[in-house]
Structure 1
Amino acid sequence: MTVAAGILAWLPAGEVWGANGAYAVDAADIGEAGSCKVESWLSSASNADFTAVANPSCVVDAFKPVELSMFTSRARTDGEWGTTIQPKAKMNIAPTGVGRLGISFYAGGGFDALTGEHASAFTVIPATFRLNENMRLNFNGGWLWDRSVDRHYLLYGIGFDWKFTETLQWTIEAFGQAGQSDTPSVVQPRFQTGLRYRPNEIFSVDLIYGRNITGENANWITLGTTIRFPVPGGKPEHHRTGHL
């Protein structure tokens, strides 16, 4: 899963989105080297804003496994359309386990796809503590530079995942960014909760409700999917043991 504030084109240009599909708070886990996935989602807000996202990623075997992703969004904000691209690299530092804190690190940047302008840079540390094989807490903390206004922000996020059946997972999370802003809504906390249905190791679908995602007190509904491509002879991320 990632941090917290979202780098979608419908958010202020400097904000960051993480890797847990349409969820914002990331987990410390990454997949096996050679595994790939494509996350995509559609989000619609009560204020008529809209976004469509595709986020392909693969884990490559450098000196240790590194997950490389390319987040791309096409979005409408206040009637205007924009396209954002966000390359990112993530590496696990300490593996997760029941009763043990796992830690990862990721970094990347945001670009306006139409102008090529460098909009932001960020680094985030996701940490995961597994309460048992089916419940985990995720904590994110990091730094964001919004180049468009030349300001720096502290990123934060906390989330809870509970796999309460073999195919259903519930997630709840709060996240945001702290710092000085001329627009108070940029630093307001945000909230999401949703269900993930995963009938097999390859495919999953998410239905998510979000509040204040753009900092404008709008309600958001998101429908997302993930398609995973396991390593030959292996299994996709998080399902090598059949648990979270």
Structure 2
Amino acid sequence: MASIAMLVFGGNAHAEGGSYNVDDASVVGAGKCQLESWLREWSHGSNGLYAVPACGAGPVEFGVTLNTGHGVYGPGVNPSIKWQLRNGDDKGIGVAVATAATWIHGRQDDAQAYVATTFGIDDARRLMVALNAGVDRIHGESTHSLLGLGMDVALTTRWTLLVERMWTHRTITDQGGIRLAFGESSLDLVVGSERSPHPSHWINLGWNAAF
């Protein structure tokens, strides 16, 4: 899970997960939960703390992004629902549909709906690709297209390299980083940038856990 709706929080909201914007086609799983969290520091000096708890019921995942947004936007709340249509976690192509909406200071600011697909390039699935396609509607504006491409490369059994690009209205967001997995948890170190009328740069330190 990697919330596309995070785009409205200044990096700007899940194959990436954590603070990555491009979503994969996986869900938490029936009766299971997870927590993705990260601290973001922007180049202009402000910072934000994010937490994304999510739980599964059959092929459906229910989640919510909570954001302090120190100095940028927030605080914000971003509920989301993802329904896995085809399980591609171990082989083949995974497909899911998802929707999310963002409230900032009690007002709906943004909403998205998209299709997420995930597939492996090689038989060992060491190189995974995630594609997102959908629509994004910002409060007071018309609806625009939303496109995302993410890739992750398993360097070892514990270390993974992740890169992504997200296209939305007047904005291109790039992120890349390294992930260290241990047990049911992982740590992320991510750097990102946004090309828009108000460009920005940031670094994320994240922790993800399943339970």
Q: TM-score, normalised by structure 2?
A: 0.89
Kept in 2: contact 1:100–1:130 (CA 8 A)? yes
Q: 1:58 to 1:3 in 2, by over 3 A?
A: closer
Amino acid at match of 2:108: H
Report the counterpart of residue 36 of structure 2 in structure 1: 39
Could you say which residue in structure 2 is the equivalent of 1:184? none
Partner residue of 1:93 out of 85, 91, 94: 85
For the structure 1 residues 57 and 47, does the alpha-carbon distance in structure 2 shift closer, same or farther, using more than 3 Å as the test?
A: same
Give the match for residue 23 of structure 2.
26
Structure 1 residues 57-106: Cα deviation after superposition (integer angstroms, max 9, x where no partner): 00013xxx2100011111134xx663110110101112216773221001
Residues 116-131 of structure 1 aligned to structure 2 (within 5 Å): 116-131=106-121
Structure 1 alignment gaps of length 5 or more: 179-186, 230-244
Q: Distance in 2 between matches of 1:175 and 1:188?
A: 8
- Indicate the RMSD between aligned Cα atoms, in angstroms: 2.2
TM-superposed deviation, 1:3: 6.4
2:173 pairs, out of 190, 199, 203, with 190
1:66 aligned to which of 50, 60, 66: 60
Runs of 4+ in structure 1 deviating by more than 3 angstroms, as ranges, are 1-5, 7-11, 213-217
Q: 1:128 to 1:47 in 2, by over 3 A?
A: same
Matched residue of 1:125: which SS? Answer: strand
3-state SS of the aligned residue for 2:74?
strand
- CA change 1:8–1:50 in 2 (3 A) is farther
Aligned-pair distance for 1:21? Answer: 1.2
CA contact (8 A) 1:28 1:126 kept: yes
Contact 1:203 1:225 in 2 (8 A): yes
Give the aligned partner of residue 108 of structure 1: 100
TM-score, normalised to structure 1, is: 0.78
What corresponds to 1:226 in structure 2?
208
Pair member with larger Rg? 1
Deviation digits for residues 123-178 of structure 1, max 9, x if unmatched? 1111111123322111011111112x232111111011111111111101011203
Could you list the runs of 5+ residues in structure 2 that have no partner in the other structure?
none
Is the strand fraction higher in 1 or 2? 2
| Aligned residue pairs, count | 208
Q: Taking structure 1 as reference, are residues 146 and 82 closer, same or farther at Cα in structure 2, changes over 3 Å only?
A: same
Relative distance call for 1:101 and 1:48 in structure 2 (3 A) is: same
